[in-house]
Structure 1
Amino acid sequence: MIDLTTEMAELWAALGPGRGHRGRVVLFVSALAGEGTSTVAREYARLAAVRARRPVWLIDADLLQQDQMSAIGGDPERFGQLGRPAHASPDGSSFFAITPPLVGKDGQPVAPARLLTARPALGGRLWVTRFNQEVLRSGQRAEAIDDGRYWDALRGHAETVVIDAPSADRSDLALILAPLADVTVLVVAGQATEAAAPVALRDEIEAVGGNIAGVVVNRSTYRAPQLLRRLTA
């Protein structure tokens, strides 16, 4: 088992929760696949939920590869039992679109938000989402959209919203969502990644208006990551 409680506590202290009734949206992303982004995002969400006065949401934004709910459900000692599924959109908005649009049996369009569900963990302190990709038909795809309504809606219901984004070499989702998040944290596997890839990703995110808070350097699965280091070109 990987326990990053101490490291995530330092990261939480550095980033801080949302202010007042407006939650903070924190996006986690890596330049390359396999750098441990999902683990870091999940552990950060858990720590934030334990300390939060309002619920914390963990958004599994990898629309092709959904792992967060199964990972949390498979670790009841740390996350408790998962509760019953519920709608994951407070107002019916979503952060993705389906192309071509999904149509129900009645011939009417199905709102993309209907494909996103959430289940509570930690006794309701943490909510984790799942995109029901199995509903899609052949030729349909889900893509992130440049629309802040979903994130604004969640800010009113959560103290912290954690976005687990797919790596930049697999998807451009992080470049679409980073300007809509409050801060972005890059995850780097220090022993495996050349500096050029995360530096390039940092520059791309800042070029589209994203706010880079810093970097979690994940040196191995059992050694503590170094937190919020700034990348140098």
Structure 2
Amino acid sequence: MHKRTGRDYLKLAVFLLFVAGAAYLLLFTPTGAMFRTTEGRKALIANLDTLVQSSGVLGPVVFVLIYAVGVLFLPATPFTIAGAVIFGKFYGMLYNLAADLIGASISFFLGRYFLHGVARGFLETRMPWLERKAAEDGFSVIFYLRIFWFPFIVLNYAAGATRILFRDYFLGSALGLLPAVLLSTYFVGAMKEVLATYRRPADLLTFDLLFPVLLLVISFFLPTLIKRLRKDRGLLPPGGQP
């Protein structure tokens, strides 16, 4: 069993200071207001658009880097919307997914470095089944939690604190995030195109808008469907978890 050391607790203290700083930034600064209010989010998108346009051919790289660093401690949704507005529904999908995965990977390694030492001892003594599940079936754990819309930032750091292999974490994240990122980006990009030529309410009844909405609704029921299929095939015990 892993024995916690003073170094482990020091790392935890540093991480908690980081969390406190992120909370202060989000709740009490003008930057945080960009994520809390509608007007703030509009300003964020406008500022990102200006920066991307002024960066020329490096604009997409600049956007992905800002997005990836931002989601270490800030909500991903405003960045996702910005990607769709700035780059459109197709390129926006690509850049948003890339940024999500880069940010999720960085968070994972930060969680592994700062939290694993303390968390390991706790999991081994209090929740050995979770630690074992993470080590043996990390891909499924991450995939299902992503599909279940588990909080993005929380899962990124929590996964790093367990024994999940990075390979399993990355692949599970890539496949689990794909539906939500593609649907939300496509919908926002399509909405931007429709509003540019909007004349009457009937203009909203287009395939580009209705199709992603339908898929988004279906995605909310997808976890339950997958769980039922696994249970029917004997992959889950009655009342078991994915």
Which structure's residues are more often helix, by fraction?
2
- Shorter-chain TM-score category? under 0.3
TM-score (structure 1 length as normaliser): 0.26
Bigger relative contact order, structure 1 or 2, given CA contacts below 8 A and separation 6+? Answer: 1
- Please identify the structure whose Cα radius of gyration is greater: 2
